[in-house]
Amino acid sequence: AQTVTQSQPEMSVQEAETVTLSCTYDTSESNYYLFWYKQPPSRQMILVIRQEAYKQQNATENRFSVNFQKAAKSFSLKISDSQLGDTAMYFCAFMNPPQGGGFKTIFGAGTRLFVKA
Amino acid sequence: DTGVSQDPRHKITKRGQNVTFRCDPISEHNRLYWYRQTLGQGPEFLTYFQNEAQLEKSRLLSDRFSAERPKGSFSTLEIQRTEQGDSAMYLCASSRNEGTQSEKLFFGSGTQLSVL
């Protein structure tokens, strides 16, 4: 069974600085999808960034980028120029491709990020 | 795109009562998911539908839980004979086929259930 592990329950960063959130996962599949979701205090979860495992290039979305290390099964999120609005829970997530048995997304336990003014 | 809506936002019930939650997905999304989230934890998968067909159920979904998606539109999640351990946030999410791209989930705001 696939598992997702986030080893940092809580982190803090000064506004305008850079922070990296860690995630490791376990799977026997060769093709899969990885995501980072953000859940602000209002609790509606939104997608931050996603990565297809078959792509070697790391995904970027404005201030957010990932470091995808397939052999190490590692998928870290880097937030540059942190803003107060980045304060939230961040969840790393894993999804099998459709031919791998379905669309179930598995989430890690989350990392709570505080951005300090 | 009006987003995923869930009703009610909060539900307080007494142990042993039945409760039903509703989820309205984004209209063109054919896949709908239910998750359960307890405080400080990530969402746990419960079940998902493709159109009106329920394709997968988690072992977390005991026989007291039932979900439906008639006509492939809105979905309901019913919990019978509620227990205190059922207290959690119940999240609904929907997605659509993006071809070869990964499918991102669009979440509702959730229904917070408290069982007294």
Are A68 and A78 in contact by the 8 Å Cβ rule? The answer is: no
Segment B94-106, tens digit of pLDDT? 988 776 666 889 9
- The Cα of B14 is separated from the nearest Cα of chain A by a number of Å equal to 25
The segments of chain A whose pLDDT lies below 50 read: 100
Q: With 80 as the cut, is the pLDDT of residue B67 above it?
A: yes
Q: Which of B99, B93, B36, B30 is nearest to A37 (CA)?
A: B93
Residues in A closer than 8 angstroms to B101, CB to CB, are 52
- Indicate yes or no: CB of A43 within 8 angstroms of CB of B101: no
Nearest CA in chain B to A89: B40
H/E run at residue A52: strand A46-52
Segment B15-60, tens digit of pLDDT? 999 999 999 999 989 899 999 999 889 999 999 998 899 988 888 7
- The Cα of A71 is separated from the nearest Cα of chain B by a number of Å equal to 20
Peptide bond between residue B70 and the one before it cis (omega within 30 degrees of 0): no
- Indicate yes or no: CB of A52 within 8 angstroms of CB of B41: no
Residues in A closer than 8 angstroms to B44, CB to CB, are 107
Q: Are strands A60-61 and A64-69 parallel, antiparallel or unpaired?
A: antiparallel
- Binned at pLDDT 50, 70 and 90, residue B11 comes out as very high
Are B15 and B115 in contact by the 8 Å Cβ rule? The answer is: yes
- Indicate yes or no: CB of B107 within 8 angstroms of CB of A45: yes
CA B3 to chain centre: 15
The partner residue sitting opposite A33, judged by closest CB among B48, B102, B107, is: B102
The single-letter code of the amino acid at B26 is: I
CA distance B26 to B4: 5
The partner residue sitting opposite A103, judged by closest CB among B44, B103, B108, is: B103
CA distance A14 to B98: 37
**The two structure tokens encoding residue A97:** 């491709």
Q: Are strands B19-24 and B75-79 parallel, antiparallel or unpaired?
A: antiparallel
**For residue A43, what pLDDT is reported?**
72
SS3 of A86, please? helix
**For residue B28, what pLDDT is reported?**
87
Q: Find all residues with CB under 8 Å of B39, minimum gap 6, and list them.
A: none
- Indicate yes or no: CB of A110 within 8 angstroms of CB of B105: no
Are A34 and A25 in contact by the 8 Å Cβ rule? The answer is: yes
The CA-CA-CA angle for residues B106, B93, B44, to 5°, reads: 120
- A8 touches B: beta carbon within 8 Å: no
Task: Report the helix count and the strand count for chain B, using DSSP H and E.
Answer: 0, 11
